């Protein structure tokens, strides 16, 4: 896509976000459900296949440029952003280890939005990663899957779970497997989880498997490569994308704060004329731009295949999340007490922002990844 076409696409997305996107946001906040029309609208506009290769039916937009678009989507409702984020990202994790036959069955339908795939890693009884407790026993050409997963985004309303487990009796990375588990598999109890503080409308599932049969042919890659599918294929670029989500959400909070500061008058002066307010907005602008540039740097290094990209992705997300916390707190403070009411747009932004501290790993997980790289470099 040449620069002129890209700029037109970005302008179209911004118009959508500020127009129909806000109407969808109001409906989601009112009903606490994502309307089916939203996903269909995003699909019809081509927004769910922006990053996939052209030969897969995507638009082939390179990752750093795609993030410029994610910044725009992230200014809208968090559930709208989540749909765009997942459909433009999960296919990578599948594709890197898929056979040609698996690519036709799993990747292409996900790119075209004919299928929704839920990334299914987190467990209620274990840490995220090599501490997996979900296990499989192989009997002939079938795995029998047992265990629990929770906090699974789109885990209720999906077509497949991209699920990570281990061969029973193995430990650590050895024995981990990545499986494409059909949503209608027998032997699973799917429980919708309670509503969240923010990111309303996006369904999250608690899954309990009891010897659920999964064809061995649905395994991606070799035994022992399950975490490679999860971490390298999805989590590294996804963390960078979430960092840009923080930038977009912070940008929206800043816009709302600036608008309020210019329009609100106290003691004969607009708030914007008061140094305490103007300095807070100046700090916000600096914070946002710094996070944006670190995120784009991480994206470019991942695109280039730099081994340091995993550490950079954690740096980008850690920095962006902390930035978002500061920016949204100041933006709400600029609004004064009225900002705490649901009638104020900043109230939703503030709630949605808190979720970014958990998505794709907590701040503590990011620090662990970064520290491992730092200490390894020292050694």
Is 259 annotated in the active site?
Answer: no
Residue of 54, 222, 360, 364 marked catalytic: 360
Q: Give the separation between CA 295 and CA 293, rounded to whole angstroms.
A: 5
Residue 328: CB atoms within 10 A of its CB come to 27
Structural tokens at position 280: 């807070």
Residue 208's Cα: distance from chain center in Å?
23
Coil/strand/helix, residue 162: strand
Instruction: Give whole-number Cα distances, 364 to 202, 256, 309, 317, 372, in Å.
Output: 25, 30, 18, 11, 12
- Coil/strand/helix, residue 45: coil
Residues 285 and 139: their CA atoms lie apart, in Å, by 58
Distance CA 215, CA 141 (A): 6
Nearest to 230 by CA among 182, 181, 177: 177
Whether the Cβ atoms of residue 28 and residue 35 lie closer than 8 Å to each other = yes
- Taking the C-alpha atoms of residue 60 and residue 219, their distance in angstroms, rounded to an integer, is 27
Nearest residue to 253 via CA among 319, 351, 341: 351
Residue whose tokens read 């978002």: 324
Residue 124 CB neighbours (<10 A) = 13
Secondary-structure percent of the chain, ordered helix, strand, coil, rounded to 5: 55, 15, 30
Q: Write the secondary structure of 114-142 as one string of H (helix), E (strand) and C (coil).
A: CCCEEEECCCCCCCCCCCCCCEEEEECCE
CA dist 239 and 326 (Å) reads: 19
Query: For residue 206, what is the enclosing H or E element?
Result: strand 204-215
CA atoms of 267 and 257, how far apart (whole Å): 19
Catalytic residue numbers read: 360
């Amino acid at each position: 896509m040449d620069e002129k076409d890209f700029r037109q696409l970005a302008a179209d997305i911004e118009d959508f976000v500020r127009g129909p996107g806000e109407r969808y946001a109001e409906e989601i906040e009112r009903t606490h459900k994502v309307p089916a029309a939203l996903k269909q609208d995003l699909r019809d506009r081509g927004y769910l296949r922006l990053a996939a290769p052209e030969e897969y039916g995507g638009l082939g937009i390179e990752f750093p440029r795609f993030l410029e678009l994610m910044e725009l989507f992230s200014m809208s409702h968090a559930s709208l952003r989540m749909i765009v984020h997942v459909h433009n990202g999960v296919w990578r994790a599948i594709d890197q280890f898929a056979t040609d036959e698996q690519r036709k069955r799993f990747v292409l339908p996900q790119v075209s939005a004919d299928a929704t795939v839920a990334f299914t890693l987190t467990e209620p009884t274990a840490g995220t990663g090599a501490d997996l407790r979900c296990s499989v026993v192989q009997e002939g050409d079938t795995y029998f899957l047992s265990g629990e997963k929770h906090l699974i985004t789109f885990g209720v309303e999906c077509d497949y779970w991209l699920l990570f487990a281990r061969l029973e009796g193995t430990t650590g990375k050895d024995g981990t497997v990545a499986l494409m588990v059909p949503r209608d598999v027998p032997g699973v109890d799917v429980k919708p989880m309670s509503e969240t503080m923010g990111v309303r409308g996006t369904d999250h599932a608690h899954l309990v498997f009891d010897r659920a049969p999964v064809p061995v042919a649905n395994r991606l890659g070799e035994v022992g490569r399950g975490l490679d599918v999860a971490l390298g294929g999805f989590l590294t670029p996804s963390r960078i994308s979430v960092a840009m989500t923080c930038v977009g959400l912070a940008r929206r909070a800043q816009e709302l704060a600036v608008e309020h500061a210019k329009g609100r008058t106290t003691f004969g002066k607009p708030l914007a004329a008061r140094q305490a307010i103007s300095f807070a907005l100046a700090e916000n602008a600096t914070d946002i731009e710094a996070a944006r540039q670190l995120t784009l740097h991480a994206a470019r290094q991942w695109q280039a295949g730099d081994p340091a990209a995993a550490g950079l992705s954690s740096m980008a997300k850690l920095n962006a999340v902390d930035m978002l916390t500061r920016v949204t707190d100041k933006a709400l403070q600029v609004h004064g007490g009225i900002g705490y009411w649901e009638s104020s747009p900043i109230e939703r932004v503030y709630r949605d922002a808190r979720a970014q501290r958990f998505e794709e790993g907590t701040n503590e997980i990011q620090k662990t990844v970064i520290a491992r790289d730092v200490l390894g470099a020292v050694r």
